[in-house]
Chain A
Amino acid sequence: MSVDIEQLAEQEYKYGFVTDIEQDIAPKGLNEDVIRMISEKKNDPQWLLDWRLKAYNHWLTMDVPKWPNITYPEIDFNDISYYAAPKIKEKPKSLDDIDPELKETYDKLGIPLEEQKVLAGVAVDIVFDSVSLITTFKEKLAEIGIIFCSISEAVQEHPDLVRKYMGYVVPTHDNFYAALNSAVFTDGSFVYIPKGVRCPMELSTYFRINAENTGQFERTLIIAEQGSYVSYLEGCTAPKRDENQLHAAVVELIAYDDATIKYSTIQNWYPGDKDGKGGIYNFVTKRGRCIGKRSRISWTQVETGSAITWKYPSCILEGDNSIGEFYSVALTNNHQQADTGTKMIHIGKNTTSTIITKGISAGFGQNTYRGLVQIGKNAENSRNYSQCDSMLIGDKCGAHTFPYIEVNNSTAQMEHEASTSKIGEDQIFYCQQRGLSAEDAVSLIVNGFCKDVFKELPFEFAVEAERLLSVSLEGSVG
C-alpha cells in the first residue's frame, strides 16, 4: 500500500493505519454457503441460521434503493468478503490474552483496554472487523443484573432474549440493507437493563474495520425494562484505503414504561482522501421503539467520517407520553456526501419529539437532511419541535433539506425552523484581528454552531467530538 507523504504530513486522518495481524478472512462472494459459514463460525443455533437464510432469500428479491441524494458507483455485493477476524485460538479471558498488536492498535486509537486506564466509568465492548474482542466491566455490571456483551455471546448465553427482540424494531424485510445485514451480521453489542436499574456507567462499543475488501455488518440490540436507564455510545474508525468499504449496520432499541435509552454516536470512519478516493459507505438502519408509557429514546450523533453517510435514526412513539429526540451534527468535507435525518412516528397520546440538526458542508461536500414527522390519527396532543440548520464553508459545497410532515390528527402542534448560513470572510477576519488563526476561527464558529447538539453528548465525548470536528475541518479554509 503506497503512502502519501503529503497526507502523512497533514495528519488528516490519524486512524488510517492498518494493524499487521494474521486474519481469518472468508473468500469474497455472497451466497448461501457464505452465510452458513458465518453461522458456523459464530456457532449459531439453528433458529438463527434459519433467520439469516430467510433474510438472505428475501434480500435477493429486493432492489437497491435509488432515492437518496447521493451518487456512488454500483456496489458489487459479490466483490466483498463477509467475514474477517484476527486469528485467535480462543476468546481472551483477560487482557493479557489479547495479541499485543491489537493492544497497541487500541492504544494508538486512544481506546484504553485496561480497566484502570479506562475513562472513569465507561465500559467498552471492542469489535474488530467481524468479532468482539473483549467487553470490559462485564462482570461488575452483571452483579446488578445488567447484561452487556457482544451479540454473539448473547446468542449463546441469552438466546431467549435475543430471539424475542432481534428484528422486533427493524424487521428483516424493512429495507435492502437491513435485509442484507440480517443475513450476514457478525457482531455488535447487546445490552439488557433490568427493571428499575439505572446503569451506573456509560456503555460503549468501539468498532474498528481493519481487513481489506471486507464489509462490516454489525447488529446492536438494547433493551431497557420498566423504569431503567442507560447511556450508550458507539465510536468507529477504519484504515485509509483506496477502495470503498461497506458498513451496513442495524441498531434496535426498545424502551418500556418509564425507561430511558440515550444512544450517542461519534462516527469517524475513513472519509476518503481529498480527491474522494476510498472511504467507507456507512448505510445504517437505526430505530427505537418507545413501547412504554413515558419512555424516552434519545439519539445523538456526530458524523464526521465516511465517504457516504446514509442513516435515519428514528423513534416510534407508541407509549402515551413517550419522548423521542434526535440531535445531529453531520459534516461533509472534500467529496463526502451525507443523506441523513430522522423519522419521528407519533402513535400514542401526548407524545413529544425534538429534532435539532446541524449540517456543515465544506470543500465539495454535499449534505442532505431528510426528516419525517408523522402524526398518527390517534396521536392526540402530540408535539414536535424541529430545527434544521445548515452551514456552508466555501462556495463549492451544498446543503439540502427535505422535511416531510404528515399530520393526521388536528390537535398536533408542530414547530419547524430552518436556517442556512455561511461562514463569512468577515467573521474569520474579525477573529483573526483578535489574535486567532483562521483555522481556530473556523473551529470556534463551527463549535458555536454545534453547541446545541454537543451538549447532549456524555461529557467525556463532547470534548472528543469538538476536537474531531476541528480536525475534520482542517484545510477547509483558504
Chain B
Amino acid sequence: MLEIKDLHVKIEDKEILKGVTLTINPGEVHSIMGPNGSGKSTLSQVLAGRESYKVTSGSITFKGKNLLELAPEQRACEGIFMAFQYPVEIPGVANTYLLREALNSRRKYQGLEPLKHVEFIKTVKEKMKNLKIDESMLNRSVNEGFSGGEKKRNEIFQMQVLEPELCILDETDSGLDIDALQVVADGINSMRNSKRSFIIITHYQRLLNYVVPDYVHVLIDGKIEKSGNKELALELEEKGYAGIGEQLQTAS
C-alpha cells in the first residue's frame, strides 16, 4: 500500500530524514520508535503533506500513486489519516461540523452522495459510546477546552468515523493514563482488518502491549537502523536506544 524509497527530507536548512526506506502492505501494523529528534514526527508530517517539510530526494507511493504530487486534502481523501501528536484547537467550529465536512469531502472524492444528517449522527453516537466520549462533545468546538487525553481520544474517534486505509498515529499514547490508554487501544484494535494499515509512532512499549505490531522499526538520526517484530520493542525497553546503537556498531 505504501512504499517509501530512500526518502530525504529537510526543514529550513536542516536534513532530518536521511534515506528512509519502508514498505507497508495492507493489513499490517508497523511501529516506528526512536529517540527524540530522530525524525519520527517528520516522517508523519511528510506523509500527511505538510509544506514546510521539503522532500529533497526519494519517493513515496501510495496505492500506486505518487503521493508527493498530491495536496494534503487529496491524500486525506485517498485514505490517509493522521492522528496528530498535538491536535490544534479551532474555536467556533463544532466538532460534528468539521467531521461531517471531512466525511462528505471524502465521499465526494469517491463519487458518493453526502451522508444524510440523521445517518451521520447515528454512526457518530455509536462510536462515541465505545470510546467513552461524552455526547456533549458533539457541539463543542474542535478540541477547545479539551484535556490532553480528550484530544487524543477525539483523534481516534475521528479516525473511526472517517474509516481511512492508512492510519498514522503520531505519539497517540503520550499523556494518556492507563484507563485512557486501554480505551484508545481498543478503539485502534477494533479497526484492524486485512485492508487497513497502521503506522504507530511511539516512544514507549506501553501501547504496543495492547496494540501488537507486526513490525517494529527503529529510527535513529533520520534512518531506519533496525527492523524486527514485536520482540524488538521489548528489547528496546530493556536496552534503550543506546543499546541498539552499540549492537549496530559491533555488527559493523
* In the complex, B62 has a CB within 8 A of chain A: no
Say yes or no: A444 contacts B82, CB within 8 Å: no
Alpha-carbon separation in the docked complex, A424 to B158 (Å): 21
Q: Which residue of B lies closest to A478 (CB)?
A: B51
**A427-447 vs B, Cβ < 8 Å mask (1 yes, 0 no):** 101111111111010001101
The residues of B that contact A427 with a CB separation of less than 8 Å are 88-90
Contact partner of A432 (CB less than 8 A), chosen from B71, B106, B109, is B71
List B73-128 residues whose CB lies under 8 Å from chain A.
Answer: 73, 75-77, 81-82, 84, 87-94, 97-99, 101-103, 105-106, 109
Contact partner of A434 (CB less than 8 A), chosen from B91, B102, B109, is B102
Q: How many residues of B contact A (CB 8 A)?
A: 33
List B45-74 residues whose CB lies under 8 Å from chain A.
Answer: 48-50, 71-73
Say yes or no: A436 contacts B88, CB within 8 Å: no
CB distance from A364 to the nearest CB of B (A): 23
Alpha-carbon separation in the docked complex, A432 to B141 (Å): 17
The residues of A that contact B88 with a CB separation of less than 8 Å are 424, 426-427, 430
CB distance from B67 to the nearest CB of A (A): 13
Contacts A424-B88, A444-B101 hold; do A433 and B72 have CB atoms under 8 A apart? yes
Contacts A433-B76, A435-B102, A436-B105 hold; do A421 and B48 have CB atoms under 8 A apart? no
CB distance from A223 to the nearest CB of B (A): 37
Q: Which residue of A lies closest to B81 (CB)?
A: A433
Contacts A429-B50, A432-B72, A434-B158 hold; do A448 and B105 have CB atoms under 8 A apart? no
Contacts A421-B91, A427-B90 hold; do A434 and B98 have CB atoms under 8 A apart? yes
Contact partner of B76 (CB less than 8 A), chosen from A432, A438, A447, is A432
Say yes or no: A434 contacts B90, CB within 8 Å: no
Say yes or no: B82 contacts A445, CB within 8 Å: no
Say yes or no: A432 contacts B84, CB within 8 Å: no
Q: Which residue of A lies closest to B92 (CB)?
A: A448
Contacts A448-B91, A448-B141, A449-B92 hold; do A437 and B101 have CB atoms under 8 A apart? no
Contact partner of A431 (CB less than 8 A), chosen from B49, B50, B98, B141, is B98
* In the complex, A467 has a CB within 8 A of chain B: no
* In the complex, A451 has a CB within 8 A of chain B: yes
Q: Which residue of B lies closest to A358 (CB)?
A: B92
The residues of B that contact A445 with a CB separation of less than 8 Å are 90, 92-93
Q: Which residue of A lies closest to B50 (CB)?
A: A429
Q: Which residue of A lies closest to B99 (CB)?
A: A434
Q: Which residue of B lies closest to A452 (CB)?
A: B92
Say yes or no: B98 contacts A429, CB within 8 Å: no
Contact partner of B49 (CB less than 8 A), chosen from A426, A432, A448, is A432
The residues of A that contact B75 with a CB separation of less than 8 Å are 433
The residues of A that contact B181 with a CB separation of less than 8 Å are none
Q: Is the interface of A mostly helix, strand, loop or mixed?
A: helix
Contact partner of A433 (CB less than 8 A), chosen from B48, B89, B94, B142, is B48
Q: Which residue of B lies closest to A444 (CB)?
A: B93
The residues of A that contact B103 with a CB separation of less than 8 Å are 435
Alpha-carbon separation in the docked complex, A447 to B76 (Å): 23
* In the complex, B162 has a CB within 8 A of chain A: yes
The residues of A that contact B82 with a CB separation of less than 8 Å are 433
CB distance from A387 to the nearest CB of B (A): 13
Say yes or no: A430 contacts B90, CB within 8 Å: yes
The residues of B that contact A424 with a CB separation of less than 8 Å are 88
The residues of B that contact A434 with a CB separation of less than 8 Å are 76, 98-99, 101-102, 105, 158, 162
**A283-305 vs B, Cβ < 8 Å mask (1 yes, 0 no):** 00000000000000000000000
Alpha-carbon separation in the docked complex, A445 to B97 (Å): 11
Alpha-carbon separation in the docked complex, A430 to B73 (Å): 10
List A152-195 residues whose CB lies under 8 Å from chain B.
Answer: none
Alpha-carbon separation in the docked complex, A445 to B75 (Å): 21
Contacts A445-B92, A449-B92 hold; do A435 and B71 have CB atoms under 8 A apart? no
Alpha-carbon separation in the docked complex, A429 to B82 (Å): 11
The residues of A that contact B49 with a CB separation of less than 8 Å are 432-433
Q: Which residue of A lies closest to B77 (CB)?
A: A435
The residues of B that contact A448 with a CB separation of less than 8 Å are 90-94, 97, 141
List A399-444 residues whose CB lies under 8 Å from chain B.
Answer: 421, 424, 426-427, 429-438, 440, 444
Alpha-carbon separation in the docked complex, A429 to B85 (Å): 13
The residues of A that contact B141 with a CB separation of less than 8 Å are 448
Residue among B94, B101, B109 with most chain A CB within 10 A? B101
Say yes or no: B90 contacts A435, CB within 8 Å: no
Say yes or no: A429 contacts B92, CB within 8 Å: no
Alpha-carbon separation in the docked complex, A138 to B125 (Å): 50
Say yes or no: A430 contacts B93, CB within 8 Å: no
Q: Could you list 12 further interchain pairs (A-B, Cβ under 8 angstroms) beyond the known A432-B76, A434-B158, A448-B93?
A: A426-B88, A427-B89, A427-B90, A432-B49, A433-B73, A433-B75, A434-B101, A435-B106, A440-B105, A444-B90, A447-B92, A448-B141
A-B contact pairs, 24 of them (CB 8 A): A426-B88, A427-B88, A429-B50, A429-B72, A430-B84, A430-B142, A431-B98, A432-B49, A433-B48, A433-B72, A433-B76, A433-B81, A433-B82, A434-B98, A434-B102, A434-B162, A435-B76, A435-B162, A436-B102, A437-B71, A438-B73, A444-B93, A444-B101, A448-B92
Give the 10 A-B residue pairs with the shortest CB-CB distance, closest first.
Answer: A448-B92, A435-B105, A434-B102, A432-B72, A448-B93, A435-B76, A426-B88, A435-B102, A432-B73, A449-B92
